[in-house]
Amino acid sequence: MKYLEAIGKYFIMIWEVFKKPTKWPIMRSLILKEIDDLIFGSMGIIIFISFFIGGVVTIQTALNLNNPFLPKSLIGFATRQSVILEFAPTFTSIIMAGKVGSYITSSIGTMRVTEQIDALEVMGVNSLNYLVFPKIIATMIYPFAVAVSMFVGILGGWVAAVFGGYAPSGEFIKGLQMDFDAFHVTYAFVKSIVFAFIIATVPSFYGYYMKGGALEVGKASTTSFVWTSVVIIICNYVLTQMLLG
């Protein structure tokens, strides 16, 4: 019953977020700040991890394709498919759930502990719209980060293949172009938009409704990361079945 109550409370929160909007000049500055904090502030870690994940995928693929009758272009093909379909949208989202989700929960949770949210309510401000809506809008450009992750991941795979001696550059690029389906990129972007909404709202839920003091803020951040990751994994399965099944 506790989980059903939490799910119901979450959807009520989503409904409240879109009611009684904050004035646009204030909201615009909040959205720009959230874009800088949540998206651009995370680009460094996304690029770093994507590059080496692409390299690792290439090396593991090359080591498993040890049959001389298999063309080296399959290394590029497997790297492209792995990065675009799964690693860029899903693995990056798990990282964002840890970095961005913990930040969202702790920042809103601290406002709850210090009674800043109560002050907003007293002033007649819809605190959920003021705090959560800018985060939702900011994370809607998250597919841009996923696109960068795709490019950097494939670039990392190319570097690992060429400089590691696993495949010539021409063969790797040939594999990247082999049987390319543009819908796979669309599928990755659809997933990233859904994941972005989850990353913005689930941590906000745990931060907004937390009770206690400073210690509970840390516990809420940990709990929000766990449940954000769980919801992302479940949605990943459902979306894959719907779009590719």
* pLDDT tens, position by position, 221-235: 888 999 999 999 999
Angle of CA points 30, 39, 51, to nearest 5°: 175
**Average pLDDT value for residue range 10-38:** 88
pLDDT score recorded for residue 31: 92
Q: Which has the closest alpha carbon to 188: 155, 148, 156?
A: 148
CB 89 within 8 A of CB 146: yes
Distance from C-alpha of 7 to C-alpha of 23, rounded to nearest angstrom? 29
Q: Which has the closest alpha carbon to 218: 110, 135, 132, 118?
A: 110
Q: Does position 27 have pLDDT exceeding 80, yes or no?
A: yes
Percent of the chain whose predicted confidence (pLDDT) is above 90: 40
Q: Is residue 79 part of a domain?
A: yes
The token pair that represents 233 in the structure block = 């994994």
- Tell me the pLDDT band of 203, cut-offs 50, 70 and 90: very high
**Average pLDDT value for residue range 27-34:** 90
Distance from C-alpha of 12 to C-alpha of 19, rounded to nearest angstrom? 11
pLDDT score recorded for residue 1: 63
**Average pLDDT value for residue range 24-48:** 89
- Whole-model pTM? 0.90
Q: Is residue 17 part of a domain?
A: no
User: How many domains does the chain divide into?
Assistant: 1
Angle of CA points 106, 89, 146, to nearest 5°: 85
**Average pLDDT value for residue range 38-62:** 91
Q: Is residue 48 part of a domain?
A: yes
**Average pLDDT value for residue range 197-218:** 88
Q: Is residue 116 part of a domain?
A: yes
Q: Is residue 10 part of a domain?
A: no
- Average pLDDT of the chain? 89
pLDDT score recorded for residue 117: 86
For residue 65, give its domain range.
Answer: 25-244
Q: Does position 125 have pLDDT exceeding 90, yes or no?
A: no
Residue keyed to tokens 């879109």: 18
Q: Is residue 236 part of a domain?
A: yes
Distance from C-alpha of 205 to C-alpha of 96, rounded to nearest angstrom? 16
pLDDT score recorded for residue 230: 93
Q: Is residue 18 part of a domain?
A: no
What's the one-letter identity of residue 2?
A: K
The better pLDDT of the pair 53, 1 is held by 53
Residue keyed to tokens 């003021």: 130
pLDDT score recorded for residue 38: 87
pLDDT score recorded for residue 70: 77
Q: Is residue 139 part of a domain?
A: yes
Q: Within 10 Å of residue 107's Cβ, how many Cβ atoms?
A: 17
pLDDT digits (tens, 9 = 90+) for 82-106: 999 888 899 889 988 988 988 999 9
Residue keyed to tokens 């799964």: 86
Q: Does position 153 have pLDDT exceeding 90, yes or no?
A: yes
